[in-house]
Amino acid sequence: MELKLLLTQYEWFQSKLEELESNLDKLLVQIPHVQQLLAIKGIGRDTIAGFLAEVGDISQYRHPKQIMKLAGLNLKTNSSGKHIGQTKITKRGRKRLRALLFRVMMPLVAKNAAFRALHEYYTKRLVNPLKKMQSLIALCNKLIRIFFGILKKGHEFSEEKMIQDIPRFTELPQAA
């Protein structure tokens, strides 16, 4: 009897989940330039919905740095007098937005060739190589700038253009 009750609850939750997903699809269609975001390999509708839920209306932001600050991904240096401390992210801001961006970045680096190449560049460059976590945070900021450019200005995402925008990227030997 208890097993039957659990199965009934499972089916009810499953139907509610399907209903929520269809409502999410209907809402995302209403937002301009969402199809361009969905065209990015490794970005799904849950990611876009979570980003827009945390950020809100993109038209209220003038620059992507405002969204970076909202996420708590802006850098600060803990220094005093002649002492120069470490540079870290502030973590002041929306914890869920920061977590969403980081959780998206892991599979994005694995699936998207441009983000993978950028991650390798950041971690293996000759001058000031970043640690893997620092590179992922830098890529989260890059993703914010990409989302901002697409949603606010309607730009198209191009992996080739993203790689060409990086100075000194030709220093790194290209993988075949």
Q: Is 37:147 a contact under the CB 8 Å cutoff?
A: yes
Q: How sure is the predictor about 81, in pLDDT bands with cuts at 50, 70 and 90?
A: confident
Which DSSP helix (H) or strand (E) runs through 79? Answer: strand 75-80
pTM of the shown model: 0.84
CA distance 41 to 109: 10
Which has the minimum average pLDDT: 74-88, 98-112, 120-134, 157-171? 157-171
CA distance 104 to 159: 17
Q: Is 38:44 a contact under the CB 8 Å cutoff?
A: yes
Q: Please state the rounded mean pLDDT for residues 80-105.
A: 89
Q: State yes or no: pLDDT of 10 exceeds 90.
A: yes
Q: How sure is the predictor about 165, in pLDDT bands with cuts at 50, 70 and 90?
A: low
CA distance 85 to 118: 27
Q: Which structure tokens are listed for 6?
A: 């659990």
Name the amino acid, one letter, at 63.
H
Q: Torsion angle of alpha carbons 11, 30, 60, 142, nearest 10°?
A: 70
User: Who's near 115: CB < 8 A, 6+ residues apart?
Assistant: 42, 105, 108, 109, 139, 142
CA distance 111 to 41: 7
For the chain, helix, strand, coil in percent to 5 are 65, 5, 25
For the chain, state the CA radius of gyration: 20
Q: 129 vs 41, 107, 134, CA distance in Å?
A: 26, 22, 10
Q: State yes or no: pLDDT of 51 exceeds 70.
A: yes
Q: Please state the rounded mean pLDDT for residues 140-168.
A: 86
